[in-house]
Amino acid sequence: MEPSSVPVLKRRSRPPVPKRDVEDNFDHSKFTAKRGKSRTKPSASGTKGRPSNETQNVRSNIVGRVERHRNAGGHMRRCICRWIMTYGRWLDPYEFVMSYNDGQGCPICRVKFRSEDSQSDHFDMHGKEFAIFARDGDRRVTRYAFRLEIKYLPRYSRMSIRIENDSNAVLVLRSVYLLQLDKRLDATLGGPLRMAPGYTYEIDHTIEHCIPNHVYTVILVATVACSRVELIEQYHVQMLKSTKIVGKPLKMDILPYHHIPDYLIAIYKNNFEHSNNFNRLAMLCLENLRQFIKQGLTPTNYIEQLRLLNMIEDYDLQTIFSTYTIHNALVSPAEQNRRYIISVDQFQVAPAMLEIDGYVRITVQRSSGPRGAILEYVNGYIDAISEDDIVVTMQQPVRFHLPCKVEFPLNRTQYKLEYNALNLISRIDLEKFLFTKSLPKKKKPVRQTEFRWFQPTIANNREQMTAIRNIINMTSFPAPYVLFGPPGTGKTSTIVEAVLQIWKNQPKASVLVAASSNLACDEVTKRLRQFIPEEEIFRFFSRSCERNIDNIDIGILEISNLATGIYEVPSYEHVYRCRITVSTVTNCGRFAQAHINSTFFDYVFIDECGSAKEVSALVPIAGVCTEGPKIQASVILAGDPKQLGPVVRTEYLKQTVHNTSLLDRLMSQGIYKRHKGQYNPLVITKLLDNYRSHGALIHYSNEWFYDGELRACAAPDLADWAVGWSYLPNPVFPIIMHSVVGVTRMDRQCLSSYNKEEARCVLHYIQKILSDGINDRQIREEDIGVITPYSKQVSYLRHGCRNYGWENVEVGSTEQYQGREKPIMILSTVRSQRDHVGFLSNSKRLNVAITRARALMIIVGNPDTLQRDPHWYRLLRYISDNQGVRGVEFQPKQPDIDLSGQPFSYAMEEEDFA
């Protein structure tokens, strides 16, 4: 067997942390705190069997104490594992029989030491964190073989290392090393251990001092059973500080079920058309819906209209999820306890909308009696989704050999919080708050005009300074203040600076920062933490975030309710003690649910407000900073109405205000509307300086979306380094349109499109850039982003990147990249040889896709198909005029229809979201 034939281990799906924030009829209390139940643990000698009585007694006592301490606030400290790399190598016979713990050489490199000095020199060469060096013939394995979970018990100076075989191969674990503070590798495993797929083993290792935030290195050495293939896997481990959350936890009211009325269901089933079979309520509701479309949102119909539209979306999704029910399902057990596999081919309808962490219910007929069948219901959640299978984790074992029914109920928590927000917001004066026609006369003088900036670049940006001054001085109160931030203009920096100035200059003020995604929240938190003491800032995570805890920055975890490594409900004292709180838009609804004092927050920032439904934007406002008819806090809405708006899947709702964000609606009317080419700076500020991209990369969007007002201000070392690359058709124009005449194919399972020819072209560019670099600049995998609007093309390209070992080349949809950037972006359009471009005709989606790159943009697609849309025609004409085309030649041809100045039509938009 040659070194090149080292097997690439297929990764098994990770068992997730159980979710508890679920529907009322889901009992998640049966889940344990651990991620899955451990199997019988081998003895210290490495042989299988039951631990000795003495060891068993010690372990049971420790576990009992740890559980009690964790419930009281937590002394057990979780360590966050950052997987680094896995190497596979072919061992010669001498290396294969050599002892792994002989202490005479480096256990990783197999280098023999002649003296202590040579040993010290060799270990110094590995570096502070013991970096693994590849030998000749070593091959980087694209998937890790093991999964680690490490916890530290300070009272017993003991580190618990839980190792699971996460591959589909039988592995022989030969050594486990822990790098100590004195750069000494401690062997923690007594002897070789054979581990079948899914097998779990726990090691208790005594360590005198475990320092928070210190990076420990754990190295696993294993061989693939019945072969001479050795695997070396390295992890970097950091221990959390385990900040206690003390006091009375938030007590949240139970959210009402919010039943969808029968008359609305009847209208929905009749496709919102008139029927003589409708009762009086249905007739009245249908007439109201028609009037609402004509009127738009007004103070008088605001609550009723948003509630009806939200119920339509709610019921539509419930209907879609009900079609995923499988009767007489075949459920196969996985190796781990309580985990089961459901093959995709059992679905009558492609389960395109199922997501990880979604609910699942399995109904089993336990027995039958004179009164009928006795049914057993087992609840769980989706653990992993692949093209062929769905892996679920259940609360208790399922009798899979019996006939069963599998259902996937919709998680309605978001909708319940939105209904609650509508109930609370209905008490305030909507005309003054959300339909303001004129600014009220200020009774209070301006608080402050001079500032000492935390971020020096703010002092050179007139628009940012204006926005911060007006935000702090509440110039628009009680109406919201709007921060209009085109791509790369420093919207997040402006929000961060405004929060910092409030924190510094108003010692008694408290701030709530909400964003649509956890990534956006983490970015804001990371920037704020550079200046604000950790005891004054709190990152509030939802329970579902515990699943991805290993991917969250440790500095953010330490100031959050995940500080112990396990989700904890924050206490009232903890929330009131911190002056700055950051959470997602939906999770902010928990504060209203827990009756947090409505006068506590003085400012509420909502970032990426342009991508949220209007009713969703009310969640962090209603009940959080409103009390009865009064508005207690100044609200700041930040976003860009020219980028992607709310994700609405129901065709009827796309024609209603449900498809418009609060930010977009406000900017089109009243005091926010542009007058004589200018915005009123007391209520809205448009940022103009682009600090992200090369001028050529923002030129098109600037001309067609931002009135030509943006200024290219990016630093040359950030944006100009790709200019002059030999592969550019025009050396001074860092955009490539690579013309490919591919074939658009549709996947039969997810009903999404993909294009193999374009995928090959994308992978070719990635390979060339990574291997050759650009202008003598070495490009990292993290520097390249791939964006494509079709979910199937996303998975197809991710699979291709994994096959090449490019684990850090990120592939995502347009929605996933909104608000983000990369030095190099590659766009695969997929659409080819069709009469129209489908939902690619959404100009907002195009604007997002072409403004993510800093230095280089590569577009791969069929220009003959793309230019059938006027938005794409203008872009292709711009690139063609600048000689930026490669591949198959094409001639720009203007489409018959020009949509200049017209709103985007959704008539031909497809139901395909990544």
d(CA 408, CA 581): 34
* Helix/strand/coil for 28: coil
Tell me: pLDDT of 38 over 70: no
d(CA 603, CA 502): 9
Percent of the chain predicted with pLDDT > 90: 50
In the chain, the largest separation of any two C-alpha atoms, in whole Å, equals 96
Burial of 45 (0-12, 13-18, 19+ CB in 10 A): exposed
Cβ atoms of 553 and 546 closer than 8 Å: no
Tell me: pLDDT of 137 over 80: no
pLDDT score, position 46: 36
Percent of the chain predicted with pLDDT > 70: 81
Name the residue with higher pLDDT: 560 or 11: 560
**Highest mean predicted confidence (pLDDT) among 73-87, 159-173, 259-273, 897-911:** 259-273
Summarised one tens digit per residue, pLDDT across range 798-824 is: 989 988 888 889 999 998 888 889 999
DSSP string, 611-625: GS-HHHHTTTTTTTS
pLDDT score, position 209: 67
**CA angle 911-521-822, nearest 5°?**
70
pLDDT score, position 445: 53
Tell me: pLDDT of 32 over 60: no
Tokens of 92: 């010669």
Distance between alpha carbon 552 and the CA centroid of its chain, in Å? 11
pLDDT score, position 367: 67
According to DSSP, residue 404 is labeled E
Summarised one tens digit per residue, pLDDT across range 432-471 is: 999 998 887 765 555 666 889 999 999 999 999 999 999 9
pLDDT score, position 190: 75
CA R_g for the chain: 29
Confidence at 901, pLDDT banded by 50, 70, 90: very low
d(CA 663, CA 640): 8
Name the residue with higher pLDDT: 96 or 130: 130
Distance between alpha carbon 506 and the CA centroid of its chain, in Å? 33
Average pLDDT, the chain: 82
Tell me: pLDDT of 704 over 70: yes
The alpha helices in 74-201, defined as continuous H runs, are 93-97, 116-126
**Highest mean predicted confidence (pLDDT) among 145-154, 190-199, 412-421, 840-849:** 412-421
pLDDT score, position 393: 87
Q: Average pLDDT, stretch 662-675? A: 93
Phi-psi bin for 327: left (phi > 0), alpha (psi -120 to 50), beta? Answer: beta
Q: What's phi and psi for 811, nearest 5 deg?
A: -115, 130
Burial of 268 (0-12, 13-18, 19+ CB in 10 A): middle
Query: What CA–CA distances, in Å, run from 339 to 13, 33, 351, 426, 609?
Result: 10, 16, 19, 45, 38
Q: Average pLDDT, stretch 516-523? A: 92
Tokens of 290: 């028609």
* Helix/strand/coil for 79: strand
Tokens of 774: 């650009």
Confidence at 83, pLDDT banded by 50, 70, 90: low
pTM: 0.82
- Identify the weakest region by mean pLDDT among 138-152, 272-286, 564-578, 585-599: 138-152
pLDDT score, position 35: 32
Cβ atoms of 658 and 613 closer than 8 Å: yes
Contacts of 137 by beta carbon, 8 Å cutoff, 6+ apart:
3, 89, 90
Tell me: pLDDT of 363 over 70: yes
Q: Average pLDDT, stretch 11-35? A: 36
Confidence at 603, pLDDT banded by 50, 70, 90: very high
Confidence at 584, pLDDT banded by 50, 70, 90: very high
pLDDT score, position 50: 35
Contacts of 197 by beta carbon, 8 Å cutoff, 6+ apart:
12, 165, 167, 168, 169, 170, 335
pLDDT score, position 93: 58
pLDDT score, position 175: 86
Tokens of 745: 């194919």
Cβ atoms of 329 and 408 closer than 8 Å: no
Q: Exposure pattern of 753-774 as b/e (b: 16+ CB <10 Å)?
A: bbbeebbebbbebbeebbeeeb
Q: Average pLDDT, stretch 365-375? A: 69
Q: Average pLDDT, stretch 823-848? A: 88
pLDDT score, position 67: 31
DSSP string, 216-245: EEEEEEEEETTS-EEEEEEEEEEE------
